[in-house]
Structure 1
């Protein structure tokens, strides 16, 4: 679970204590799977609208859309008050981590579908009440009405979620995973105490019957969505044009099916507002997103007043700078700066940003573990939502032991931001790559079955790398992984002969000597030009030897060939 910084205020209300504190929006959403494998065998108990209400609501939303067609769907921040109602034996007193995980799962569902709607857990209210815990339902006794009236907190600005026991295996009676009093169907004003939704404690994240789709489903009702099978195969269905109709008798499946064959499209089994299994429910359509934004503006306008007091910071990337050998790779024995790029993915402006770096890995030592985004040469750096930024010269400084084994170095980056009134802190794990590779390496797309040779052929004081390949070429690269001018030298066959280097013509310049599998021996100058191509029968796949055999002060070339019946040993001068 990500770390949160809690800003605490105590509010006494109806003799109950609320711990109110806005928390940073949960990060790393891409790392959490919103779906599980539970089977939805228990229905939603949200009251059904009449056909007339659906028609009226669709007309209302269509009018809003016609008047706001070019308007961006503004970010909507929904603060959540979670009322964990439990029995005196503590059944239902679900943990903070389960509630936080459920809010995160809701954000996965809504962010993955680009709804621009986000949920922020503001506070958790724990209430011990046996009667409410087991009897809470929208039945004649209206125990939920009594509970909601006593517990609700500012429904115009907050989504109140109530977790209770709505069903017990084999218990009978009122049985549901959750239910909502919908804005248009129940015609409650936005400040009414029934605004919000109820969910069974067992289906909350981490519970014995966790249903990942239930909370996003009920939140969809809260924001004005109907079931995709609302009127089966008849109009007006769910008042959304891009959700195909489906028959309510055949909704508990993830199989591809078309239960309304006279209408376009297969059943939307992947939609959160269906009853299919959790694992396949991953979709809110663009039409549903438009409808939710319209309903928010019409029925929950005060939600648009909510401000983001916290950013959502995440490490967008890192790079090595000013390392010991200047190749921007972190090698054993190197000392290097680590530049961090931060992203503010959501929420408010990130101000007063600072970073600290920690690791328990003995292979590295952190020499400077602090970065401040304030007091830079550009002034104090603020990161607006949706933007990325980094510091100019203030970077971490680390060093690796010379005998360190290459591999990932797991580090923790602690990100702090905000003000005294709204402090923010987040931690993220990053893996720094400690490698033997140099910049530009490894090379891809080349089949190499010969040994390379390292030599300074162009006499610039820096050695190059030369090797043959099955791509029928001799390659030459500098230490940055860049191919040298004049290379690759194209051969007529694969080059499995490891090259040899020497001044074979005694001209003061080094040459490269190698053979190929068609029986050609090549002498190539440092600039990639050919000096000699000597033809014989057989394969030349061993490395030539360069030696002054006759004492004439130049090097002869000794090499072997391989044929189907044996091979030969050759010794030639550089001119063939």
Structure 2
């Protein structure tokens, strides 16, 4: 188990989930085979654009740790935080212009995964059963905005979020979660912005091939878990291995992982870190296939709820 600690570096990480193989941006049939991260390149771009982001994110980390001691204080709807979702669809091809039905399947997956209603929730091993968590956050589709484009790929420089660059600006980002569906390119599945980034680029980007359950969704990432993973980042969760060998994800009840896991790992999978703990490979914040991730932990829940607390970076969602 890890001790929770504050570091400016950890507070800065922006996650971009991507394939480590070359994936043609023009291909509708070439699907990613495994996840990995280009977080450092994205982070450097954000820091150059906004040097104050480091200070903001370090302050958010300090606030989060204070809230972990106090507990959540904020408005709930039927006992849960309710998040309106705006989906921005940028498309060049018919397949990229994902249907409203496909979009709704993604909202449904988020609601199941964040409310312990996913059918594989009970597959959590006995070792982790005591810390598996119902986050208690619900998502409601607020609006779908569509825009045709000539771009074959958008990259990770947030161009899809900027009208001047042919994208769609976020709608009310302080009170609505904006999702962008588009052809990202470079084998990237999706990426998220942490609390503390600019509101003009706040939200989550998902390649249209991995959005929801139907239409253009491609296996092994066709169960909508790319969004679950990325929304976890948007709610201030780190990758479970802490983006470093035997690093920390700033959560006390997740085992120390020596690195990311891929595919469908056999259980138990032991870490090579101190104490050789069994890794929580089925956690949404690992890099396993969609059908191999199916839980958040209690510690992760507490960390997520902290950002919605009064005075927190996403408090407007709970007021």
Measured at CA, do residues 62 and 249 of structure 1 come closer, stay the same or move farther in structure 2, by a change above 3 Å? closer
* Separation in structure 2 between the aligned mates of residue 71 and residue 200 of structure 1, nearest angstrom: 33
Match of 2:265 in 1: 254
Query: Equivalents in 2 of 1:304, 1:72: separation in Å?
Result: 5
Match of 1:199 in 2: 206
- Unaligned stretches of 5+ residues in structure 2: 1-30, 48-53, 117-132
Q: For the Cα contact (< 8 Å) 1:162–1:198, is it kept in 2?
A: yes
Closer, same or farther: CA 44–215 of 1 in aligned 2, 3 Å = farther
The 8 Å contact of residues 262 and 289 in structure 2, kept in 1 or not, is answered as: no
Query: How far off its partner does 1:48 sit?
Result: 5.8
Aligned pairs for 1:481-560 within 5 A: none
Task: State the 1:244 CA deviation.
Answer: 1.0
Query: How many residues get paired?
Result: 250
Seen in structure 2, the aligned counterparts of structure 1 residues 44 and 123 have a Cα distance that, compared at 3 Å, is farther
Change beyond 3 A, Cα 1:70–1:60:
closer
Who is 1:274 aligned against?
286
**Structure 1 Cα separation of the partners of residues 254 and 59 of structure 2:** 18
The answer for unaligned runs of 5 or more in structure 1 is: 1-37, 168-173, 306-576
Deviation of the 1:266 alpha carbon: 1.2
Say which structure is richer in helix: 2
Q: Which residue of 1 is the match for residue 134 of structure 2?
A: 114
Contact 1:39–1:277 (CA under 8 A) maintained in structure 2: no
Q: Does 1:92 align with 2:62?
A: no
Higher relative contact order (CA 8 A, sep 6+): 2
Q: Deviations over 1:408-439 (max 9, x none)?
A: xxxxxxxxxxxxxxxxxxxxxxxxxxxxxxxx
Deviations 1:124-143 (A, max 9, x none): 11111122xx331224xx52
- Structure 1 residues 184-231: Cα deviation after superposition (integer angstroms, max 9, x where no partner): xxx325xx1211100010111213412431010011011111100124
Please list, as runs of the form range in 1=range in 2, the aligned pairs for 1:393-404 lying within 5 A after superposition.
none
Residue aligned with 1:260, SS: coil
User: Structure 1 residues 200, 157: closer, same or farther in 2, change over 3 A?
Assistant: same
Tell me which structure has the larger Cα radius of gyration: 1
- The SS at the match of 1:279 is helix
Mapped contact 2:251–2:299 kept (Cα < 8 A): yes
Structure 1 distance, partners of 2:71, 2:259, is 33
Hey, what does 1:42 align to over in structure 2?
35
Task: Indicate the SS of the match to 2:36.
Answer: coil
Which of 168, 175, 178 is the equivalent residue of 1:157? 175
The 1:75/1:269 distance shift into structure 2, 3 A limit, reads same
Q: Contact 1:233–1:245 at 8 Å: present in 2 too?
A: no
- 1:500-534 CA distance string (max 9 Å, x none): xxxxxxxxxxxxxxxxxxxxxxxxxxxxxxxxxxx
Q: For 2:159 and 2:273, how far apart are their aligned partners in 1?
A: 43
Name whichever structure is richer in strand by fraction: 1
State the 1:247 CA deviation.
2.2
CA distance in 1, matches of 2:232, 2:313: 14
> Compared with structure 1, are the counterparts of its residues 267 and 40 closer, same or farther at alpha carbon in structure 2 (3 Å cutoff)?
farther
**After alignment, is 280-289 or 292-301 more displaced?**
292-301
